[in-house]
Amino acid sequence: MTTAASPSAGTGIPGPGGDKYLGNLHAFSTDPLGFLTECSRTYGDVVRLGANNVLLTSPGDVERMLVDRNAKFSKASADTRRGSRRQGFPLSTMNSDGATWQAKRHRMQPAFGRKLSTKAAEIVADQGERMLAGWRPGTPRDLQDDVSVLTLRLVTSLMFGDEFSEEDTAEIARLVAPIMDLSTSPVLLPEWVPTPRKLRIRRSMARVDRTLRALAASPAAADPDRAPVLHALVHGDPPPTPDELRDELATLIMAGFETTNDAVVWTSVLLARHPEIAERVRAEAEAAFAATPAGLARMEALPYTNAVVRESLRLYSPVWLTSRDAMEDMEFSGHIVPAGTTVTVSQWVAHRDPRHWEDAEEFRPERWLGKGPSVPRGSYFPFGLGPRVCIGAAVATTETVHIVADIWRRFRLDLVHPERIRPRPALALQPMGVEVVPRRW
Ligand code: HEM
């Protein structure tokens, strides 16, 4: 997002004045979540964050931007500004537009059906077992570290079969970490400035490039049951170039691994803080694991845990900010937003907006039971909305619900330093400082 001063302006849009030269850059960089929340409470539905940047906070406008007017916005320009290919950010379905995006998405979409969620539900049972086998009651664990190994293995085996060695997986983890560290700061140094992060990315990328390129020729790529997504990409129409393939694969890893990791860890933090809700999850999970084999049927036997995860995705949505560039002048809530403006919506702000959510700051999974909360569509969008909605939403939900149920049926978790836990809004909303002690129930 660009909050520094620049020439174009949506006249009459209210917003904080900020510094003459830097606009609201300092306020945004110091506390982005607080700054955006404050802007929404003070200035209303359309807020001018900087000369060239607008925040939309009404659910109707969120829906208009992401659904109805999706084609009038460019995602490619907003995303690639955050980090181009050479900074480690691949160019893929996620950050392309128009007909190019459509062709890329169509190539992958068929592989993301119910069959993939079924496979996810089966794999996650095995992988969860592997992680939890190493846990001992009373011995502290870094939850973020443990779950990240698990979710990375899950995404690679689900997308690409069992082609990745432990070493390859570790190398990918090393590559992804500094990329996910990319803040959403509008100030990006010129590409040639060799920051330590960029040097680390470049070193890791060479190896990851080789690994990902080799996948195209691997036996898994020829087998749609073993590696459905890899197969769909390699044999897709139009056939991807080697660079394109590598970028799609890298994007899937990045999009699918840290987000799911953050979802599991935030949900566990919330459960640790609410023992009575954790107890209900335990009881449900114990019954579901006893009555059903690993697979989607087990997921269906976990409605309360599902509600817990939805509520956690409301309070700590791993994607906390979504930006696009307006390609033409558009009206939102009575204001003209000029072409070229970066328009931002924030899950963090919308999901906690007291105008639409009762007890917005409270963790209340019950609101998702039965018909669910009666809130406007643009009030809840952890996976986005409209044509660009997350392609992996079903898989991610299956994995998160399953991992949470599996952890909490075996252990309850005590937070070692509850006061140190805080959200770190980088590319995803990372939970910082989550050390836990597993205890027997
Ligand atoms: C809890 C986990 C996840 C969350 C919260 C999440 C969230 C999101 C959101 C909000 C978007 C839309 C961004 C926008 O509108 O600009 C998105 C897009 C996307 N996600 Fe996810 N995601 C998750 C897991 C996954 C997984 C597991 C995969 C694949 C393995 C995945 C692959 C993608 C891709 C490829 C896109 C781009 C879609 C497009 O532009 O057409 N995500 N995700």
pLDDT tens, position by position, 75-107? 887 655 554 444 445 578 888 899 999 999 999
> Is residue 403 a part of any domain in this protein?
no
pLDDT tens digits along 218-262: 888 888 888 899 999 999 888 888 888 888 888 888 888 889 999
Residue 39 lies in a domain: no
Q: Is 283 a domain residue?
A: no
Euclidean distance between CA atoms 331 and 325, whole angstroms: 14
Structural domain includes residue 265 = yes
Which one of 267, 390, 391, 402 would you pick to mutate in the ligand 1 pocket, going by the greatest count of ligand atoms within 8 A of its CB?
390
- pLDDT for 98 equals 92
In the chain, pLDDT over 90 holds for what percent of residues? 63
pLDDT confidence band for 190 (50 / 70 / 90): very low
Please report whether residue 401 resides in a domain.
Answer: no
Q: If pLDDT is split at 50, 70 and 90, which confidence band does 168 have?
A: confident
Instruction: Report the CATH number that the domain containing residue 194 is assigned in CATH.
Output: 1.10.630.10
Q: Is residue 57 part of a domain?
A: no
Q: 287 CA distance to ligand 1 centroid (A)? A: 31
SS3 46: strand
Pocket lining for ligand 1, CB < 6 angstroms: 75, 93-94, 105, 155, 251-252, 255-256, 259-260, 263, 318-319, 322, 382-384, 388, 390-392, 395-396, 400
Query: What confidence score (pLDDT) does residue 426 get?
Result: 86
The confidence score (pLDDT) of residue 201 equals: 65
Query: Quick one: angle between helices 114-133 and 143-160, nearest 10?
Result: 140
Which pLDDT score is estimated for 26? 75
More confident residue, 322 or 9: 322
Closest atom of ligand 1 to 381 CA is 10
Residue 53 lies in a domain: no
How many domains would you assign to the chain?
A: 1
432 belongs to a structural domain? yes
For atom 3 of ligand 1, which residue has the closest CA?
Answer: 259
Look at residue 182 and tell me whether its pLDDT is greater than 70: no
Instruction: Calculate the CA 89 to chain-centre distance.
Output: 15
What does residue 355 show for φ and ψ, rounded to 5 degrees? -70, -25
Atom of ligand 1 nearest to the CA of 318: 5
Residue whose CA lies nearest to ligand 1 atom number 25? 256
Range of the domain at 147: 90-274+417-441
What's the pLDDT score for residue 51? 82
Q: What is the 3-state secondary structure (H, E, C) of 321-338?
A: CEEEEECCCEEECCEEEC
Q: Which atom of ligand 1 is nearest to the CA of 324?
A: 16
Sorting pLDDT into bands at 50, 70 and 90, what band is 159? confident
> Closest ligand 1 atom to the C-alpha of 96?
40
Q: pLDDT band for position 57 (50/70/90)?
A: very high
